[in-house]
Structure 1
Amino acid sequence: MPSAPHAADFRPRPKSRARRISELVPLAVLLPTLITTGIYIFVFVIWNIYLSLTSSTLLPVYDFAGFDAYTRLWRNPRWTTGVWNLALFGLLYIGLTTLVGVVLAILMDQKVRGENLLRSIFLYPIAISFVVTGTTWQWILNPSTGLEAFVKQLGWQGFEMGLITSRETAIYAVVIAAVWHAAGFVMVMVLAALRGVERDLVKAGQIDGAPMLRIYRRIVLPAIWPVLISVLIILLQFAIKTFDLVLALTHGGPGISTTFPAIFVYDRLFAAGELAQGAAAAVWMLIGLVVVFLPVLALNWALKRRKGGAA
Structure 2
Amino acid sequence: MAQTTSGRGGSGGDWLRDALPRLVLSPSFAIVLIFVYGFILFTFVLSFTDSRILPSFGFVGWENYQKLFGLRAWGIAVKNLAIFGSLYIVICCAIGLLLAILLDQKIRAEGFIRTIYLYPMALSFIVTGTAWKWFLDPGIGLQAVVRSWGWESFTFDWIKNSEMAIYTIVIAAVWQTSGFVMAMFLAGLRGIDTEMMKAAQIDGASTFALYRRIVIPQLRPAFMSAFVVLAHMAIKSYDLVIALTGGGPGTATELPATFMYSYTFTRNQMGIGAASAVIMLMTIAAIMVPFIYSELREKK
Which TM-score applies when normalising by structure 1? 0.88
Equivalent residue for 1:138? 133
Partner of 1:182: 177
Flag the 1:21–1:301 CA change in 2: closer, same or farther, 3 A: closer
Question: What amino acid is the match of 1:216?
Answer: Y
Which of the residues 226, 232, 240 maps onto 1:231? Answer: 226
Contact 2:91 2:174 in 1 (8 A): yes
Tell me, yes or no, if the aligned pair for 1:229 and 1:300 is still in contact at 8 Å.
Answer: no
> Which of 94, 98, 107 is matched with 1:103 structurally?
98
Which residue number corresponds to residue 88 of structure 1? Answer: 83
Q: Which residue of 1 aligns with 2:113?
A: 118
Indicate which of 215, 221, 224 corresponds to 1:220: 215
Give 1:51 shift. Answer: 0.9
Q: Deviations along 1:18-43, whole A, 9 cap, x unmatched?
A: 34433433333222222221222332
SS of the residue corresponding to residue 86 of structure 2 reads: helix
> After superposition, what is the alpha-carbon deviation per residue over 1:110-149, rounded to whole angstroms, capped at 9, x for unaligned?
0111111100000000000000001111111100010100
| Cα 1:217/1:297, change in 2 over 3 Å | farther
Question: Contact 2:166/2:252 (CA < 8 Å) preserved in 1?
Answer: yes
Which residue does 2:189 correspond to in 1?
194
- Residue 203 of structure 1: SS of its match in structure 2? helix
Per the alignment, residue 73 of structure 1 pairs with: 68
Which consecutive residues of structure 2, in runs of 5 or more, have no partner in the other structure? 1-9
Match of 2:203 among 202, 208, 220: 208
Given that 2:46 and 2:55 are in contact with CA atoms closer than 8 Å, whether structure 1 keeps it comes out as yes
Indicate the SS of the match to 2:160. coil
**Residue number in structure 1 paired with 2:287:** 292
Higher helix share: 2
Write the distance in 1 (CA, Å) between the matches of 2:192 and 2:11: 43
Return the offset for 1:182. Answer: 0.4
Are the aligned partners of 1:140 and 1:146 in contact in 2 as well (CA < 8 Å)?
yes
TM-score, normalisation: structure 2: 0.91
Report what 2:4 is aligned to.
Answer: none
Q: Deviations over 1:31-64 (max 9, x none)?
A: 2222221222332122111111111111111111
Q: Offset of 1:300 from its aligned partner? A: 5.0
Contact 2:92 2:178 in 1 (8 A): yes
Q: SS state of the match for residue 135, structure 2?
A: helix
Mapped partners of 2:22, 2:213: distance in 1:
44
Alignment correspondent of 1:261: 256
DSSP-derived class of the 1:164 partner: helix
Q: Structure 2 CA distance, aligned partners of 1:222 and 1:32?
A: 44
Please give the secondary structure, in 2, of the residue aligned with 1:224: helix
The SS at the match of 1:257 is: coil
Contact 1:226 1:300 in 2 (8 A): no
Query: Map of 1:144-163 to 2, 5 A cutoff?
Result: 144-163=139-158
Q: Distance in 1 between matches of 2:200 and 2:11?
A: 55
Query: Which deviates the most, 224-233 or 260-269?
Result: 224-233
Aligned to 1:37: 32
Residues 228, 287 of structure 2: 8 Å contact kept = no
Q: Structure 2 matches for 1:10-21, cutoff 5 A?
A: 17-21=12-16
Work out the CA distance in 2 between the residues paired with 1:99 and 1:299.
24
- Distance apart, 1:301 and its partner CA: 6.3
**Which has the larger displacement, 187-196 or 285-294?**
285-294
Deviation at 1:73, TM superposition (A): 1.2
Aligned length: 291
Relative distance call for 1:115 and 1:74 in structure 2 (3 A) is same
- Deviation for aligned residue 1:203: 1.0
SS of equivalent residue, structure 2 residue 85: helix
